Structure 1
Amino acid sequence: MLLQLLNGVAAATAVTLRLTVYYFVRWLPLGPRYLPIIYANFSAWIVCYLVAVAAQPKHSRKTSSLGAKLLTLLVGWYDRTHVVTSIWTFLINVFALLFALDFVYRAEILGSGNGVEFSRLGYVDDNSARIVIRHSEISQIFYQASGQSKWLNGPVATSTPESDFVSTLVLTGLERDTSYNYHTNTSLAGSFRTSSSSPKKWSLATSSCIKPGFPYNPAGSELRIPGLEHLSSHVTKSSIDMVLFLGDFIYIDLPARFGFSNEHYRNAYRQVYASPSWTQELQNTPWIHMYDDHEITNDWAANETGLWTDAMEPYFAYHHGGNPEPLAEKATYYTFKKGDVAFFVMDTRRYRSPEDVEDGPGKTMLGESQRKALEHWLRTERGWKMVVSSVPFTRNWRGPESIDSWAGYLWERQQLLEVMWATDGVVILSGDRHEHATTEFPSPDGKKSVVEFSTSPLSQFFQPFDRQYRQIEVTDIELFSHPYGVSKFGVLKFDTTSRKTWHLDFELIVDGKGIWNKRISLER
């Protein structure tokens, strides 16, 4: 009777352990949710194993035939007599636990990235370029226009531990529509091309959310980022002019949080930049960044605190310095323009009211100064107007975390929509939800509409079974949604060559393949 009971418990815990580990490392890396289940089931199983070995009669420990031995070896716990003592079962369950531990801890132990050295492009316009470098030694940059023999002296990067040895160097006085090469005295090198004064046809890629080492592969690098590889292939093939990254560049709290110090946040940035998935093509493509909650902690809505300061210090060093100039001193929102396309990149975390505040005039996601700046920009800017939000503007995403997006700030959202409907050419770009959805917001009279392209993750999990995007209200009209794929990014191609009609073509890329297109036109 005891052995039968132990066999039943062992069978149940073994199955639960294996399924949970696979789901955790390959589908949904939520350590706080699944690690306790993994540990509990392994503990229960190993106790059953040890008790059964001690309690099993001597004659039952012998396998009577070669066929029975093979059956025990191949299918383990299916053998009712030898469930808990099967060597095969033992190895599978132990390796399942080891895979989970390897997934959680290998990057933290082996992939610190302390020695990572890199250079990448930040914002590039028609006469300047920002180059972000990380090197433990003081670096001077030298640059030249393609075809020229003379190297010009550029600025010097001051390498200090306080900035984690990261500096942003700004090259100015460049010729427009010109290719340049650069190198430093510390052997970092790259190239870029300045913009023309008013480009009429150009493109950008947009997405958010990166986690190195996911989906887990025990034989692969703990810092591999498959989404970067897909993006690099597309950049090379389609000549993408810019990457607009919408936040969650690091996941400080997944699959497990190792601490809250400034060093923990720095280490997370170093791990991403130490990934072998980066290519020269990606580093030679301008990247513009914003941040979201996982650069701090999940669903952050607490304004500036000690944690915010520790978390944002590496963001300012690694990303903010490479962005266009902010609209106000020490602000984290900014605008920029490329040809006939203007961008307002919002900060949806730093200035927001707590989510549990009652919605209304007293609740804000942007703060008064940022909202007024956005409204002024919408009223005065001409041409395409890209409003960039780290969290979705639509309220079609349901579920317990929906109030973290604009669904929790509907009064302020309505004020912005009314200003958007009063102009033309407004498009919203967002990420965060690990899915894609294209949503239309028609004005009450049906004469104007705003479209949102919400796309993520670049390289992270998606919810395999829980579908939360659903249209209910007539204010948010679903045009297309696609939840599947661990790598999703959107490509926007702008064409403003015509005097009468401008076009914006959007393409959704999932796991490296284009699956959907949408054209929006703007009549001039």
Structure 2
Amino acid sequence: MAALNSIPNHLSVITSLTLRAIVIYFVRWLPLGPRYLPIIYTIATLNFTAFAWQWRSKPRQSSGRPKSSPWRAILFGYFDRQHTLASFVSVCVNLVFLLAALDFVFRSHFLHNATELSFSRVGYVDSNSARIVVRSPLSLVVQIEYRPVQNTNWIPGPILPVITEGHDSVVTFTVSELQDDTAYLYRTNASHLGSFRTTPLNPKRWTIVSTSCLKPFYPYNPFDHSLRIRGLEYLSDYVKSTKADFILFLGDFIYIDLPYRFGWNKDAYYEAYRQVYSSPSWSSELLTLPWLHMYDDHEITNDWSGNETGLFQEALPPYLDYHAQANPPAFRKGATYYTFSHGDVSFFVMDTRRYRSQSDMEDGPNKTMLGDEQRHALEMWLETEKSWKVVVSGVPFTRNWRGPEANDSWAGYLHERQRLLEKMWATTGVIVLSGDRHEHATTLFPSPEGKSNVIEFSTSPLSQFYQPFERQYREIESTDVAIYSHPQGMSKFGSLTFDTSLPGILDLQFTLIVHGKGVWEYNWTLTESK
């Protein structure tokens, strides 16, 4: 009987310690709800059942037993009839841990669905035009006006209808016939006010930011606003002190499936975008800075490789409304990949999700990440573009990230990657920018002839978890030479300064920013072949 009576006490201790450890890990280290929430619910149920069992059972004789410490009961979570109050405190502590997990998952969904969000931000800006995204749920039509900062006369801009159903009250304006290298103010009849600056005709030295992956309310702090995004705050501080021309955000702007998916239709995706833009962490500096976007898997679902079918049809319209309409013009009608130039540098931003073959398909000539049409466009661009070249990929180009999800990156599409590398080696040089893996790595891709003119800077997350214990970036093959890797940090972005002041030379200065501080710098130079 004594052994039987000890079962619930042992169960209380085991489940208490396990529950507290897993909740801390879940809300502060790895917010994988599909993996940890069922475990948390099960352990909490067992713990509270064990507590009720002990509470209802007949008390044992306590004569002759040494007095126990109430703090031990609270710390280890067991039931002690000598300290009933401490036992209740212990179970309340476990209840607080359970509520913390529930608060982390559900608070923003129930309290901040942001249906009344009204905001504006700057998209792509060149020397004579600018794109402005506006959400105005209370207006039937929105008109934009703009003027150079030094002038007082407002110039009437386009008038656009606001469509609530199917477009979430989001419109994108394009204002054109602007003066180059000029600061402008804009306003709308829906009380939006902002600014932007057109680019010089031919800038020779300029800076961009590259990153991906952000999630509000992580790491969890019960005293934070549930839409706080700490990485945006680090980024805001950085752009206040360092002039950046634009931001390349390479995907996972929303995490529709983490820590918990609340829906599978367009409304769920629209809500996720609204919540990010409702974050109190946005600053005027960030909304003024041009943001250029590409989506990745978490704008659809984890490791998406289902082409344009099913769930993709629900996920694409919100991305188009909130991001794609404000990007540079698509390469072709209906596509989402695009090219643009800034100074002497040309960018090709790839769509690495929409056209890809299944990740678990055997690699070979028939397996593709880009699809035939996009790959052909990229190859032609590599062959004919005369400017310095930057290729932008949502997923890492290097194969050096190992592990169970390696095939989701270009490591699973090596046949197609080799084809692209051969095109890249034939150019003066290519810089590859990527994100996705919640780490930073700089990797060089030497050609068989020893030519080292292709390099990748892969940096993320802006505000998300990193794997605290597992290190997956390792150089094995000589095709991918590891220059530097930095896994630690829940906020990372890369600052890249391009300098083409000297004819025939591109000088690139890369700085890795972790939690708002520069931790590593690297210089890379390309020279035109004579």
Normalising by structure 1, report the TM-score.
0.97
Query: Does residue 1:379 correspond to 2:399, yes or no?
Result: no
CA contact (8 A) 1:343 1:386 kept: yes
The residue number in structure 2 matching 1:514 is 518
Say whether residues 1:367 and 2:368 are aligned partners: no
Q: Does 1:71 align with 2:71?
A: yes
50-59 or 198-207, which deviates more: 50-59
**Structure 1 segment 477-516 matched on structure 2, within 5 A:** 477-516=481-520
Q: Which residue is equivalent to 1:432?
A: 436
Q: 1:378 to 1:47 in 2, by over 3 A?
A: same
Q: Note if 1:185 corresponds to 2:189.
A: yes
In the alignment, what sits opposite 2:243? Answer: 239
Residue matched to 2:266: 262
Structure 1 stretch 282-291 or stretch 297-306: which is displaced more? Answer: 297-306
For the residues of structure 1 that align with 2:217 and 2:323, how far apart are their CA atoms? 22
> C-alpha distance in 2, partners of 1:352/1:477?
26
* Aligned mates of 1:485, 1:134 — CA distance in 2: 33
| Counterpart amino acid of residue 120 in structure 1 | R
Which amino acid in the other structure matches residue 349 of structure 2? V
- Give distance in 2, aligned partners of 1:367 and 1:378: 16
Deviation digits for residues 247-267 of structure 1 (CA, Å, limit 9, x no counterpart): 010000000111101100110
Shift of the alpha carbon at 1:296? Answer: 0.5
Distance 2:320 2:204 in 1: 32
The 8 Å contact of residues 71 and 79 in structure 1, kept in 2 or not, is answered as no
Structure 2: tracts of 5 or more residues without a match: none
Residue matched to 1:348: 352
Matches within 5 A, 1:269-284: 269-284=273-288
1:159 aligns with 2:127: no
2:123 is aligned to: 122
Give the whole-Å Cα distance in 1 for the aligned partners of 2:474 and 2:72. Answer: 48
Q: Which amino acid aligns with 2:212?
A: S
CA distance in 2, matches of 1:382, 1:71: 72
Q: Distance in 1 between the 2:185 and 2:453 partners?
A: 43
Which whole-Å deviations, capped at 9, do the CAs of 1:231-286 have from their partners, x for residues lacking one?
A: 00101110111010000100000001111011001100000000000010000000
Instruction: Note the C-alpha offset of 1:58.
Output: 7.0
- Taking the aligned partners of 1:197 and 1:60, their CA distance within structure 2 comes to 87
Whole-angstrom CA distance in 1 between matches of 2:324 and 2:97: 41
Count of aligned positions: 522
Task: Check the 8 A contact 2:73/2:80 in 1, yes or no.
Answer: no
Compute the RMSD of aligned alpha carbons: 1.8
The match for 2:110 is 109
Instruction: Give a deviation string over 1:138-160, Cα, whole Å, max 9, x none.
Output: 22111101111111001113211
4+ residue stretches of structure 1 with deviation over 4 A? Answer: 58-61, 78-85
Cα distance between partner residues in 2 of 1:413 and 1:132: 35
1:229 corresponds in structure 2 to 233
Tell me how far apart the structure 1 counterparts of residues 82 and 32 of structure 2 sit (CA, whole Å). Answer: 34
Q: Does the aligned pair in 1 maintain the 2:146–2:154 contact within 8 Å?
A: yes
| Residues 439-454 of structure 1 aligned to structure 2 (within 5 Å) | 439-454=443-458
Contact 1:208/1:246 (<8 A) preserved: yes
Q: Which amino acid aligns with 2:256?
A: I
Indicate which of 10, 14, 17 corresponds to 1:15: 17
1:53 corresponding residue in structure 2: 55
Q: C-alpha displacement at 1:356, in angstroms?
A: 2.3
* Matched-pair contact (CA < 8 Å) for 2:10–2:78: no
Cα deviation per residue 1:465-502 (whole Å; 9 max; x = unaligned)?
Answer: 01111111110010000111110000000111112532
SS at match of 1:86: helix
Question: Structure 1 counterpart of 2:152, which letter?
Answer: S
The answer to whether the 8 Å contact 1:228/1:459 transfers is yes
- Contact (CA 8 Å) 2:9, 2:79: kept in 1 or not? no
Once the two structures are TM-superposed, the CA of residue 382 in structure 1 deviates from its matched residue by: 2.3
SS in 2 for 1:493: strand
Relative distance call for 1:481 and 1:81 in structure 2 (3 A) is farther
Residue number among 413, 418, 434 corresponding to 1:414 in the alignment: 418
Matches within 5 A, 1:180-329: 180-329=184-333
**Are 1:145 and 2:148 an aligned pair?**
yes
Output the amino acid matched with 1:307.
L
- Is 1:90 the equivalent of 2:91? yes
Give me the whole-angstrom Cα distance separating, in 1, the residues matched to 2:326 and 2:45.
Answer: 49
Equivalent position amino acid for 1:86 in 2: S
Give deviations 1:376-404, integer Å, cap 9, x for gaps.
11111123211000000001111111101
CA distance in 2, matches of 1:53, 1:378: 73
| SS of structure 1 residue aligned to 2:11 | helix
Unaligned runs of 5+ in 1: none
SS of corresponding position for 1:442: coil
Is the contact made by 2:78 and 2:90 (CA closer than 8 Å) also made in structure 1? no
